[in-house]
Structure formats: C-alpha cells, structure tokens
Amino acid sequence: MDNTFLSPRRQFLRRCGLGVGSLALADMLAGPSANAGSATHFPARAEHVIHIFLNGGMSQVDTFDPKPELTRRSGQMLPFDNLQTERKTGVALASPFQFQQHGECGMPISDLFPRVAECADELAVIRSMYAELPSHEMMLMLMNTGHSRLVRPSFGSWLTWGMGSENQNLPGFVALCPGGLPVAGAGNWQSAFLPGSYQGTLVDTAQTDPTKLIRHIRNERMSKSDQLAQLEILQALNARHLAERPREADLEARIQSFDLAYRMQMEATDAFDTNQEPEHVLRLYGDGIQNRQLLLARRLVERGVRFVQVWHGAGQPWDSHNNIKDAHRTVASQCDQGIAGLIKDLKQRGLLSKTLILCSGEFGRTPSVELGQNGSGASQGRDHNHWGFSLWMAGGGIKGGTIYGATDEFGFKAVENPVSVHDLHATMLHLLGFDHERLTYRYAGRDYRLTDLSGHVVDDVIASLPLHAPLD
C-alpha cells in the first residue's frame, strides 16, 4: 500500500488535490469542539443537560403535587365538564401514597421517591406544566422538539448545534434507552433540518458489556493503522463527491459519522465501563439498569458530552392505566436511588452547578380513575392528563427548594402561573446561554427556532447570580 494513505488525514486530503475545499472539509471533520461555547448569546449558567425521561407519564398527584381535597372527595365525581382526556374517567381516585415535607425548604414529596426527597433543596418543581393533547406520540414530540405534529430538531440537536461539543471522540448528544425504543422512536432525538451530525446517538443500556453497548465499536479484523488508511481513502473519495455537490447536508453528515465512528474507538468503551467506578460510587447509585444508566449519564457529561437523555425504557413504562399503586411503585423504585445518586455525585464533583437536570414525562395523569372503554370497570389507574402536570429541574443555575405554579384543588388543570413546553425550553436555553428568540436556523426560506413563535423564561426558578458574576 502506498504510504500516502498512512499520512495524517489533512495532509492526505491536501495531496489528493482538493485545494481549499479539502481544508474546509478537514475543519468540518474536526467537529465543533474547537469553538464549543463561543457562540452563546451571554455567559451560560449550565454547560450540559441530562434529561431523565419518565416516558409514559408520571402522575403529579402521586409524586410532587399533593391534593388533600382529592383525598376528601375520593369516590365522588369531580366538577369538570369540558376537560377531555384520551379515555373515559370516573370518580376521584385518592393517591395511595403518603406525602411528607423534606429539606430545609419543606417540599412535599411522596414516598414513591424517598431518595430523591433527600435532595429536595436542590429541586425546582414546576407544578403548572400543560401541553396540547393527551397523546404519547404527539406530546413526546412536543417535549423533545417543540412541535407536536411537524418534523423539527430535538432539544439536544439545537443545543449541540448552538454550543458545540467538548469531546471529539464522543457524540455531543447521546440517548440512553434500555431494551428498545420509546414511542415515536428516533424521532425523539432527530436533527430534522439541522445537519445530520447533530442527531442523537442511541445506546441500548440493557447491555452490561461496554464493548456491546455500541455495536461494532471494535473491528476485530483490522488494525488501527489499517482502519485509518481505509478511512482516509473513504474520506478522500467522499470529499471529491462533496466538492461536486456543495452544501449537501446528508453527505456531509455521512462523512462526519465515518470520522466520529473511527474516533469513538479511542474513548467510547472507557466512557461506558461503569466497572471502573469505585465501590462506594456503585453503592451510591444502586443496582439495576436504570441506576446504571444514570451513572453512565454522569460519566458522559464528565467527558464533555453536551446532552444526555436517559429514557426509562422501551415503549412507555410510566403509563399506569391500571393499578397505579403497584405500577408507579415498581418504576419509581427502579430509578429513585440512581436519580438521587446522580444529583449527589454531580454535586460532590463540582459538576452540578454546570449540569442542568430535567426530570419529566410527556404529560401527567388524571386525578380521576380510568374506566373501561364502555364506561365501566374502574381500573384503579389514571388516564393521560395534559391539562396540568409536574416536572422538576436541578443544577445548572436552578433555584433549589422552589415550587412554582399550581394546579386546581384536585390536580387536574394548571391554574396558577401556567408553564408551556415552549416556556420550559426558553428557560433551559436561557440557562445554557441562549436567547431562545435568537437561536434560529434558516431553512426553506424562513427562520426556525425551538420555541416556534412563543415562549417566556420562567425567572422564578432561576437562582440569583452572585454579585461578582456578569449579568446577561
């Protein structure tokens, strides 16, 4: 083989006679990390995001929004005439879980999350979230992309496009999901009209062997030098192809994906090997898939990954239409210790202040009991509820120990300081250093943004800046 093919990538591409175009391609292949963070509109409070997605829909009245009146009216019809849900519902269903106040802030949290409750002073709970429809697919798209019906880039894609990545050897956006895909699949981490290199990379965390978490991460048939030679030939041919088709987004993304796949061999298996952690850290997070993938999330942001989404599992594990007492208890017990461990671990490592944690579902659940489709047969479960639900954030400039907004006396509808998904996204982008109205991408003749045509920053959940800190 000609030794030309073993030369450094940029030198090789220049020797192929691609001129200025080759230099542009070389810079593109180097990734955005060189300018990471330089494009923010103002100093960022957070540099990374971990989104803990309790897909299926966590019940607000059973977790972070206690409703004594719901308990008093249990078994009675609630006075709501026009709040339609996906399925028929009946009488009020009192929460089977007990609430206690926690932390110096006295935040009420149910016994579903005893470990998370230990971190109450780090949490900002928004009780007045609302969405558009009681549909998993549409509300997953709204929560992830800002639009429930049309194909749009996901939050992680917007963030990595705007802020760049800190690590050239790992994807800037990683989606962790054990055992398969959530509802709507890869649409949840799509890049849409943004360059394809900003799409999320799915990792099936049901695997415990780090060499199997990402398929084909090791090439057993070729040495590293032979792989590099092969990559350089491939990239040279692709560069020639691209020179004849400038600004071809899919081709550019493919070229970048080949380069990243090669570089991931250097670091990916190390990042996903939780066995490298000391015993006291493993004990902090606890056993099980959910807890292990929360530890993986910390290892990834520690290595510069910009956005990590942690899904509870394939389908919709939190979709408790039947027997919510046992169903919610099961899924909460699978992640409670890991979520608390993540908050504590990030804090003791000095990473919590620059890592924004969001814990949410796509909507909440009804305070009334779900009925069979013919209106009979109460299930002791709860239907989807988009009218009002809870989520929480922590770290990354969040004002801990905060409760914002309120639902009605039964926990059905947001009535005090309602917060839309666009408001949530605007607030998160603000903490990451972006004005959501200015973070735009021109496509098909118009400027698009994550928050579409609305959205306001929820200032009351943002911690005050120290006196010496620069103002926005």
CA neighbor of 303 nearest in space, from 159, 170, 157, 160: 170
Note whether 357 and 309 are within 8 A (CB).
no
Domain ranges of the chain: 40-215+268-461
Cβ burial 131-144 (10 Å sphere, 16+ → b, else e): bebbbbbbbbbbbb
Site of tokens 């902090």: 284
Assess if CATH 3.30.420 describes domain 40-215+268-461. Answer: no
Residue of 28 and 291 predicted with greater confidence: 291
Cα separation, 201 vs 189, whole angstroms: 8
Site of tokens 């509820």: 385
Q: What is the pLDDT of residues 64-87, one digit of tens each?
A: 999 999 999 999 999 876 678 888
The DSSP code for 48 is: E
Among 7-21, 109-123, 191-205, name the most confident range: 109-123
- State percent of the chain over pLDDT 90: 69
Q: What is the pLDDT of residues 187-241, one digit of tens each?
A: 999 999 999 889 999 999 998 887 777 666 666 677 767 767 776 777 777 777 7
| Separation of CA 10 from chain center | 35
Q: What is the pLDDT of residues 377-402, one digit of tens each?
A: 568 999 999 999 999 999 999 999 99
What phi and psi, each to the nearest 5 degrees, are found at residue 50? -120, 115
Note whether 86 and 395 are within 8 A (CB).
no
**Single-letter amino acid code for the residue at 437:** E
Query: How big, in percent rounded to 5, are the helix, strand and coil portions of the chain?
Result: 40, 15, 45
Arithmetic mean of pLDDT over the chain: 86
pLDDT of residue 191: 96
pLDDT of residue 24: 33
Name the 3-class secondary structure at 356.
strand
Bridge partners of 402, per DSSP, are 124
CA neighbor of 404 nearest in space, from 58, 124, 143: 124
Cα separation, 10 vs 406, whole angstroms: 57
Answer yes or no: is pLDDT of 31 > 50. no
Answer yes or no: is pLDDT of 437 > 80. yes
Note whether 285 and 345 are within 8 A (CB).
yes
CA neighbor of 178 nearest in space, from 22, 34, 61, 338: 338
pTM, rounded to two decimals? 0.85
How, if at all, do strands 201-203 and 173-176 pair? parallel
Answer yes or no: is pLDDT of 26 > 60. no
The tokens for 244 are: 């004849």
Alpha-helical (H) ranges within 30-93 are 68-72
pLDDT of residue 5: 37
**Single-letter amino acid code for the residue at 34:** A
- How many other C-beta atoms can be found within 10 angstroms of the C-beta atom of residue 256? 20
Is residue 397 left, alpha or beta, with left meaning phi > 0 and alpha meaning psi from -120 to 50? Answer: left
Cα separation, 108 vs 100, whole angstroms: 5
Note whether 22 and 275 are within 8 A (CB).
no
The DSSP code for 149 is: S
- Please spell the DSSP secondary structure of 379-442, one letter per residue: -S-EEEE-SSEEEEEESTTB-TTEEE-EE-TTSSSEEES-B-HHHHHHHHHHHTT--TTT-EEE
Name the 3-class secondary structure at 209.
coil
The model's confidence at residue 304, banded by pLDDT at 50, 70 and 90, is: very high
As a three-state string, the secondary structure of 433-454 is CCCCCCCEEEECCEEEECCCCC
How far is the CA of 309 from the CAs of 21, 166, 232, in angstroms?
A: 35, 17, 32
Site of tokens 């069979």: 372
pLDDT of residue 270: 83
The DSSP code for 157 is: H
Cα separation, 30 vs 225, whole angstroms: 19
